Structure 1
Amino acid sequence: MHDGTSGRSSELPNSLPVTVKICGLQDVEVLKSMINLPVDYIGVVFAKSRRRIEPEQAVALRTVLFEWSTYDRPKLAGVFMNPTLEELQDIMQVVHLDVIQLHGQETAEFCKQVKQRWDVEVFKAFSFPKDETGPEADNAALKTLDAYENVVDAILLDTYDPLYGGGSGKTFAWERIPAYAEWANSHGIAMFVAGGLQPENVQQLIQTYAPYGVDVSSGVETDGVKDMDKITAFVERVKQA
């Protein structure tokens, strides 16, 4: 389950259980309560966000992850938006991240430098304005993606938020997914879908589009706080799907 995301064959997204990433964790006690759930990635946010945490908080969360058994231990992903290498270095010196997830306008060359410098998985998010549709937009975006071949381990599709880039809690036009899934499969790169997912709609997404993974944050919160009932329901419905 935790063998990395690169080198996937084009048939694997349909033959393996869907990978689950719970993002925006801040609370150690919530993470401790998740120890029996089959979660693959835990995300912590260092980008501008109401869920942003300090590196020292991430260290505390990572310590909790080591209470999992080795086989079931989720990987820790740090979410950034247009960071400098120096900013990443400052955080990596404090907390060892397994994944660096980039949500801004980071170039393929920057992603390559990140991967080479820290030997981490690199996820690159691509955010869609909610009302932006049409093959022209997708064709332009897919051409942009080609530069990231052999550079990133996963792409993550999210709804664009004008303030934070992603993490809007709103769905984008899901019918756009197949073009990106085809690109990801043909290049051996994992594809995660985020944006507006919640326990009530995640099975529909999986059964219709069969992504490699799903990423949720606000969809498992109540009044802005992670809700264990919602987290449990979300994970169970993903694995059932």
Structure 2
Amino acid sequence: MVPTVKICGLQSVEVLKSIVHLPIAHIGFVFAPSKRQVTPERASELIAYLKSEAANGVPIPLTVGVFVNPSEEQLAQILAVAPLDVVQLHSQETPDFCRWVREHFQVKVFKSVSISKSENKVPTLADLSSQLDPYIGTIDAVLLDTFDPVYGGGSGTTFAWDRIPVYQEWARSAGVGLLVAGGLQPNNVDRLVTAYNPDGVDVSSGVETEGVKDIAKITAFVERVTRK
């Protein structure tokens, strides 16, 4: 199966118009502190454009909001303005909180797992079961990302990909998807897909030029994921 593509950190309607024809499964809006952070109003504008395209019969990606330790009140305020399809949680959110988000807002929930570049030991399935089994039934996918000491994820650097297989094994047994992020770009994503074939890949800075989304890089990234 060909992995799905998630383009994260969208801020511009013009960029969205230029990529909506591509086979992209998810578009991510960052609500956590970041240089790519958007307001609920800007996300609403982008979502409205996608809905207008859907009304014209164009297949559109699901919209994902990226959050770090949000409060219930913050989520309620943002989703009231920007009706997201997926809430992506990037910190220490508990299984109970994930369940509440999923049920209260009727959205999918992606839970990020940060992998430190300094971590030398590959975890065992028992290690992951101890850590992640409480999330079974509360999330729809696990997103592997490189740990960032400031933001948790979104570092733009890769982690050791030999960690992926054990997470894949856990995800399959738990009935959830496995997405991989962290330092992906057009020049390395084909190696990741060939070696590990995750359910999905997630990119942000790897398809930017000087901090701005680059249509040519996005197109190349999507083509290298989906050409299998």
Q: Is 2:40–2:81's contact at 8 Å kept on the other side of the alignment?
A: yes
Q: Is 1:138–1:176's contact at 8 Å kept on the other side of the alignment?
A: no
Query: What is the SS of the residue equivalent to 2:137?
Result: coil
Correspondence for 1:26: 11
Correspondence for 1:37: 22
Correspondence for 2:47: 62
In 1: Cα distance, 2:9 partner to 2:128 partner = 26
Q: CA RMSD in A?
A: 1.3
User: TM (normalized to structure 2)?
Assistant: 0.95
Q: CA deviation at 1:239?
A: 0.2
Correspondence for 1:196: 183
Q: CA deviation at 1:140?
A: 3.5
Percent of residue pairs identical? 54
Q: Which consecutive residues of structure 2, in runs of 5 or more, have no partner in the other structure?
A: none
Q: CA deviation at 1:137?
A: 7.8
1:134 aligns with 2:121: yes
Q: Which consecutive residues of structure 1, in runs of 5 or more, have no partner in the other structure?
A: 1-15
Aligned length: 226
Q: Is 2:2–2:197's contact at 8 Å kept on the other side of the alignment?
A: no
In 1: Cα distance, 2:58 partner to 2:14 partner = 21
Q: Is 1:126–1:156's contact at 8 Å kept on the other side of the alignment?
A: yes
Q: CA deviation at 1:186?
A: 1.2
> 1:18-167 residue pairs with structure 2 within 5 A?
18-69=3-54, 70=57, 72-136=59-123, 139-167=126-154
Q: CA deviation at 1:64?
A: 1.7
In 2: Cα distance, 1:210 partner to 1:68 partner = 30
1:184 aligns with 2:171: yes
Q: Is 1:103–1:165's contact at 8 Å kept on the other side of the alignment?
A: yes
In 1: Cα distance, 2:103 partner to 2:49 partner = 27
Correspondence for 2:2: 17
In 2: Cα distance, 1:136 partner to 1:234 partner = 29
Q: CA deviation at 1:130?
A: 1.1
CA deviation digits over 1:186-206, x for unaligned, max 9? 111000000000001101101
Query: What is the SS of the residue equivalent to 1:68?
Result: helix
In 1: Cα distance, 2:122 partner to 2:164 partner = 12
Which of the numbers 221, 225, 231 marks the counterpart of 2:208? 221
Correspondence for 2:198: 211
Correspondence for 1:237: 224
Q: CA deviation at 1:142?
A: 4.0
CA deviation digits over 1:139-190, x for unaligned, max 9? 5344211111111000000000011110000000000000000000111100
Query: What is the SS of the residue equivalent to 1:157?
Result: strand
**What one-letter code is carried by the residue in structure 2 that aligns with 1:39?**
I
Q: CA deviation at 1:63?
A: 1.4
In 2: Cα distance, 1:43 partner to 1:185 partner = 24
User: TM (normalized to structure 1)?
Assistant: 0.90
